[in-house]
Structure 1
């Protein structure tokens, strides 16, 4: 049934069920009263099922339909290893706690209907699941364990919470330690484990590469492109033609560079810059991917499905085939390429006083790396400056403008989280041999600054044109989480001003400046980030809290993000005068779903990337059992203290293993104190730990506190 028709029918039926005269009623009675013909009864069932899934109506024990109780909501169940879980409800600030005896057999990521209790016994709302509306997945990836007459699979995703029972005839010959894909045949219940059958053996858990393949399968990340997509790619040329260039602004005479990492192959953004009369002329030029990925083509449909490229430690799972991303859509030096360009005139205060968006043809003069540009600008490396002599003035002008743009953002309150990401290096067998922080430098920040201003400029332009668009939105943080952050940072002698349950991003920015280069910097930064909501894609311009701007979008990476590709299509159609009423209506209709799908696939990619990093960190630390490291206490819970090492690896010192005293967690002050010795551990404190265990199956690293090692004489 068409979505618009379904929504209309849902509204009519909801109004009908809302009428007290007909409440509650069985399906047959509703069909008779509404005089629904026999051939349309299936449609009626579909509408009722959809209303149930929305949490708008419910069924009683006799199967009669009635309006859902105000305390009945629909959400997604998030499980835990311990059996209890939480229901996440779209648009609600607080998750609903579900005790172990109230899950009704729900499994992680199932869509459920939850009844929320009126009274609060603990700190958060509590509820019980009354119906499982939709199972999240029929297949699970895990590790096979064999028993005498049967087998069971321990799911890789610890939130799944239950092992899956496998009858002997359904093991497919799997042995202990095999990574397998299981099809669930019976979801079990409150006191019964799910059952399934092994449908694929991925390999032994210790075989090279099997761990990452397991994550890829678990997150349903599509590896291969369908034949229809590859057939379309075959027709894509290797070089652009004269016909492609027709009607475009020719900027091949401008000095143009790309600046990327050494390993980058998809070079999708280039920069031009000049200055006259205190006015900077910045050009941000983005590969014109939409020239080859046309709407509703096999390539486009596959790109929507994937949503984003996924960057794992040993591979990239691209949104678009390599022939595009590394070929005609890569702005390789010395070749003519098509681009969509944002030309900005920026004054010495960082204000964009004029801009133009245009379809262009360009030719990159030099492919630069962040390392080289850093050597030129930060290290003043003579050899590097000599090698790129003709570009040095350009890089210095870039640095000058980037500083101005960054200062402007700082003044308005933009928050800059400068976290060191993990850089994990593997050997030829996929085994981690080095983990270190991946630090940003002057060159990476310049490109970030230029991409940010282009994204803002494009978003504001299309907002005021009132053209359907996809924006990048970041809501204001939840007031309760900000209050908790305020209490927490008081322990360190810091404070933030919160006015009428709202906080301005400037307050958080000031906090991050105060903690700069302090021992607690990484910890408070992370907790500040956790107190904020997750950015998402929307079809309305809802503002970006973290960047302190009303208008923001993603314009700069159409090779690896679908929202960028989608808005490029709209921008080009607008430039060519093709956005008539019919096309505007078309975009208004599809963009909410495009934005939602992009947000879902982005989260999937983030979770998969994080999972692989966690796996490799556990594997790396398993080579360092018995060794001592200095770290910082990064988290405290009832069951233990998290310690983060300088290389970004985090492990836990379990309270049950701290034998020198009986330790009690002081939740109010975020400290752990010994009952007899009064020895106290607090967040941000420097400590020394020994690596005692690393469990790849559970993805856990165990530490034990040790005394500071004596320095060698």
Structure 2
């Protein structure tokens, strides 16, 4: 094609684009002039003076405006401006079997009843119209689906009258028709991934084909695999990323890498982690000084290997964090790095970024400094073994293993006590939470669930990491450079007001405040600690808290009562830590503020936003997978009676938690017959008898049913046991 013809084509394309744009302007102008009424499409087309030659551009302009949520079609082929008829463009964010949620482009989240969803799926662009609310929160209906999002959904196969159907995990209570000739082979009861091949106006009218079979829905491992796929968690690394990782691993730690690093290999430095940990990214050292202590926290220098904008870096940013569930991990970095060259394995030279904090005799930070370093960990410390040492109950084998660092452990324990006392003086609220430990047998089945123990060794490392994290944030703030901070804002006003309202009902006074501060939360918890109401008060305070997240602004940490805080200590498994290592490295290299600001301002914003989103995704995946494994464990205990505590109350019943952290729902329909009032968020009370089921209350329950595929456990009250107690 000649240059002249090319230019003609470009001019023609530009002219066409301008013509579509001019039609868009005309359509909006005429609809605005029409007032609140909707205009017949034929009249709108006529007003826009659409000739036969321009009909294609008019249609395209109209279609674009609909997709953008600017205009909508009403019954009778009439068009209207969305803003005039109170219809707002947004995105479906969540979906359950009976309802969904959609977020408008202005950030307002609407609850959408299932019958008002119009068959919309997660990530669909939709048009939302407000409807009368039953709860006081925004409630709406989907008027139109502007653009389809995901067409994938998970569920299990069920046969009915010899015909297979998909029972989706979300989206509908109805069976969905499977187009069998387009599907891969499957069996009754399989957990599967399906793709929508036909969309109806209700979820039950969709048709799907099966694209992937995970295995039997009776096994938690199959359901966990489906959860990973639905949340878009990448389980395999691209070839380019693996190639980079292998090259780094094969290169090893060479002597020339020690240039411009402090050689700390003669210092007594060692790691302390769980027995099963393989990605050891932090090591510690403590020395006595004239003024108090010198605490060293030495972190794997992942940024030395993972360079900005490399394939490894892009993949790490996309993943955001490692995901841990059951006995498995989906790492942020390939194992060649996470378990290999970056892991601070004992008796191996490792490149680190070290933080040294000078503390006085009470644990107050006097000064800090950071440096590039090389270390050689003395021993792979294990929490349970060090707890035995601190308790004085270690075996001869443990005593021998830690012989060279025994004095250091004693000194670390001493310093940790000072740091814990300092935290208490800051009035940091000590909210109690219990994590679960899932025991998985050789067949991959959950055979036990236990509360995860947290001894003094865990507290020691936690306090040391907090101190290093604070120092990292102080460095960035002092240098006035872009950074990724870990922030925890004060509770929203409505939640602190709810505390004011609820505490007296439990017999506790809420301290007077015009602004809710950490000291108020600490005082509430301390007044309840040791009483039978503590679990309820602890839960109320916990639920009043805002969610921690990442931010390019140093907004402080409410829960820790710190003005300066960041995540510095886990660059193998968290991207924000890797991000700030890269910034600290350039600070140490002597780059000026102007250069640092230019290089990292946008990066800090992007890393904060994406890391916060990745963290939410990881927490959701871990929780959903854990629920499935717990349900799998409880299959062997159906019909058994347990003592439990009410851990959550809703309008449809209450949740009861067993001592081993397993939680199940006691549905309102299984409670003694009556009329129940719901006092959000703490109690269900029968109107006439006055019988109440309250947060923190002890109840006797029977495991009635489990659903591994959904990760749900159903309890019913054990009436016989309750009557005996009375």
The answer, yes or no, to whether TM exceeds 0.5 is yes
**Residues 220-239 of structure 1: pairs in structure 2 closer than 5 A:** 220-237=232-249, 239=252
Q: Secondary structure at the match of 1:708?
A: helix
- Encode CA deviations 1:641-664: one digit per residue, 9 max, x unaligned: 3211100011122232235x4252
User: Structure 2: how far apart are the matches of 1:545 and 1:436?
Assistant: 30
Q: Secondary structure at the match of 2:363?
A: coil
Q: In the alignment, is residue 462 of structure 1 matched against residue 501 of structure 2?
A: no
User: Structure 2: how far apart are the matches of 1:402 and 1:45?
Assistant: 66
Instruction: Identify the match of residue 545 of structure 1 among 558, 577, 585.
Output: 558
Residue 466 of structure 1: CA displacement?
Answer: 1.9
Q: In the alignment, is residue 334 of structure 1 matched against residue 347 of structure 2?
A: yes
Compared CA separation, residues 47 and 676, structure 1 to 2 (3 A): closer
User: Structure 2: how far apart are the matches of 1:140 and 1:490?
Assistant: 46
Instruction: Identify the match of residue 323 of structure 2 among 310, 315, 327.
Output: 310
1:488/1:669 contact within 8 Å kept: no
Residue 531 of structure 1: CA displacement?
Answer: 2.4
1:115/1:129 contact within 8 Å kept: yes
Instruction: Identify the match of residue 343 of structure 1 among 356, 361, 369.
Output: 356
Match in the other structure for 1:263: 276
Q: Secondary structure at the match of 2:721?
A: coil
Q: Secondary structure at the match of 2:120?
A: coil
Q: In the alignment, is residue 412 of structure 1 matched against residue 415 of structure 2?
A: no
Residue 545 of structure 1: CA displacement?
Answer: 1.9
Residue 458 of structure 1: CA displacement?
Answer: 0.6
Match in the other structure for 1:400: 414
Match in the other structure for 1:421: 435
User: Structure 1: how far apart are the matches of 2:389 and 2:258?
Assistant: 35
Structure 1 regions of 5+ residues with no counterpart?
A: 1-12, 33-37
Compared CA separation, residues 64 and 693, structure 1 to 2 (3 A): closer
2:271/2:380 contact within 8 Å kept: yes
Q: In the alignment, is residue 298 of structure 1 matched against residue 314 of structure 2?
A: no
**Residues 126-165 of structure 1: pairs in structure 2 closer than 5 A:** 126-132=139-145, 135-147=148-160, 151-156=164-169, 158=170, 163-165=175-177
Q: In the alignment, is residue 686 of structure 1 matched against residue 694 of structure 2?
A: no
Match in the other structure for 1:701: 713
User: Structure 1: how far apart are the matches of 2:272 and 2:62?
Assistant: 53
Match in the other structure for 1:219: 231
Q: Secondary structure at the match of 1:199?
A: strand
Match in the other structure for 1:450: 464
2:482/2:596 contact within 8 Å kept: no
Q: In the alignment, is residue 278 of structure 1 matched against residue 328 of structure 2?
A: no
**Residues 16-95 of structure 1: pairs in structure 2 closer than 5 A:** 24=32, 57=70, 72=88, 74=90, 76-82=92-98, 84-88=99-103, 95=109
User: Structure 2: how far apart are the matches of 1:584 and 1:64?
Assistant: 47
Compared CA separation, residues 627 and 74, structure 1 to 2 (3 A): same
Compared CA separation, residues 134 and 349, structure 1 to 2 (3 A): farther
Match in the other structure for 1:595: 608
User: Structure 2: how far apart are the matches of 1:265 and 1:606?
Assistant: 21
Bigger CA drift: 241-250 or 571-580? 571-580
Supply the RMSD in Å over aligned alpha carbons.
3.5
- Encode CA deviations 1:595-636: one digit per residue, 9 max, x unaligned: 222112211111111111101111111101121111112223
Q: Secondary structure at the match of 2:205?
A: coil
Of the two, which has the highest radius of gyration?
A: 2
Compared CA separation, residues 281 and 574, structure 1 to 2 (3 A): same
User: Structure 2: how far apart are the matches of 1:702 and 1:213?
Assistant: 23
1:257/1:368 contact within 8 Å kept: yes
Bigger CA drift: 256-265 or 452-461? 452-461
Q: Secondary structure at the match of 1:337?
A: strand
User: Structure 2: how far apart are the matches of 1:191 and 1:381?
Assistant: 60
User: Structure 1: how far apart are the matches of 2:399 and 2:723?
Assistant: 44
Q: In the alignment, is residue 373 of structure 1 matched against residue 392 of structure 2?
A: no
Q: Secondary structure at the match of 1:104?
A: coil
Instruction: Identify the match of residue 637 of structure 1 among 642, 650, 662.
Output: 650
Q: Secondary structure at the match of 1:179?
A: strand
Compared CA separation, residues 343 and 52, structure 1 to 2 (3 A): farther
- Encode CA deviations 1:74-104: one digit per residue, 9 max, x unaligned: 454333322x333356996x84333344333
Instruction: Identify the match of residue 436 of structure 1 among 441, 450, 456.
Output: 450
Compared CA separation, residues 669 and 59, structure 1 to 2 (3 A): closer
User: Structure 2: how far apart are the matches of 1:64 and 1:662?
Assistant: 49
User: Structure 1: how far apart are the matches of 2:159 and 2:595?
Assistant: 61
Bigger CA drift: 103-112 or 464-473? 103-112
Residue 460 of structure 1: CA displacement?
Answer: 2.0
Q: Secondary structure at the match of 2:701?
A: strand
Compared CA separation, residues 369 and 46, structure 1 to 2 (3 A): farther
User: Structure 2: how far apart are the matches of 1:89 and 1:460?
Assistant: 38
**Residues 516-555 of structure 1: pairs in structure 2 closer than 5 A:** 516-555=529-568
User: Structure 2: how far apart are the matches of 1:351 and 1:336?
Assistant: 32
- Encode CA deviations 1:419-459: one digit per residue, 9 max, x unaligned: 12010101111221111100211110111111111111111
Q: Secondary structure at the match of 1:589?
A: helix
Compared CA separation, residues 87 and 445, structure 1 to 2 (3 A): same
Compared CA separation, residues 294 and 282, structure 1 to 2 (3 A): same
Instruction: Identify the match of residue 182 of structure 1 among 181, 194, 218.
Output: 194
Q: Secondary structure at the match of 2:554?
A: coil
Q: In the alignment, is residue 173 of structure 1 matched against residue 188 of structure 2?
A: no
Match in the other structure for 2:569: 556
Instruction: Identify the match of residue 583 of structure 2 among 546, 561, 570.
Output: 570
Q: Secondary structure at the match of 2:235?
A: coil
User: Structure 2: how far apart are the matches of 1:48 and 1:566?
Assistant: 39
- Encode CA deviations 1:530-577: one digit per residue, 9 max, x unaligned: 222221122222222222222221111110011111111111122113
Match in the other structure for 1:196: 208
Residue 482 of structure 1: CA displacement?
Answer: 2.3
User: Structure 1: how far apart are the matches of 2:79 and 2:586?
Assistant: 51
User: Structure 2: how far apart are the matches of 1:127 and 1:395?
Assistant: 59
Match in the other structure for 1:241: 254
Residue 588 of structure 1: CA displacement?
Answer: 1.7
1:162/1:194 contact within 8 Å kept: no
Bigger CA drift: 244-253 or 507-516? 507-516
Count matched residues: 679
User: Structure 1: how far apart are the matches of 2:680 and 2:154?
Assistant: 39
User: Structure 2: how far apart are the matches of 1:46 and 1:315?
Assistant: 50
Residue 211 of structure 1: CA displacement?
Answer: 2.7
Compared CA separation, residues 314 and 47, structure 1 to 2 (3 A): farther
Residue 472 of structure 1: CA displacement?
Answer: 1.4
Q: In the alignment, is residue 514 of structure 1 matched against residue 493 of structure 2?
A: no
User: Structure 1: how far apart are the matches of 2:372 and 2:244?
Assistant: 23
Instruction: Identify the match of residue 368 of structure 2 among 348, 351, 355.
Output: 355
Q: Secondary structure at the match of 1:419?
A: coil
- Encode CA deviations 1:653-697: one digit per residue, 9 max, x unaligned: 2232235x4252342694444566544433222121121211223
Bigger CA drift: 446-455 or 388-397? 388-397
- Encode CA deviations 1:274-313: one digit per residue, 9 max, x unaligned: 1122321011110001111111111111111111111010
1:414/1:505 contact within 8 Å kept: yes
Match in the other structure for 2:6: none
User: Structure 2: how far apart are the matches of 1:462 and 1:425?
Assistant: 42
Compared CA separation, residues 558 and 136, structure 1 to 2 (3 A): farther
Q: In the alignment, is residue 665 of structure 1 matched against residue 677 of structure 2?
A: yes
Q: In the alignment, is residue 107 of structure 1 matched against residue 107 of structure 2?
A: no
Structure 2 regions of 5+ residues with no counterpart?
A: 1-20, 34-38, 49-53
- Encode CA deviations 1:477-499: one digit per residue, 9 max, x unaligned: 22112222333332221233463
User: Structure 1: how far apart are the matches of 2:422 and 2:167?
Assistant: 52
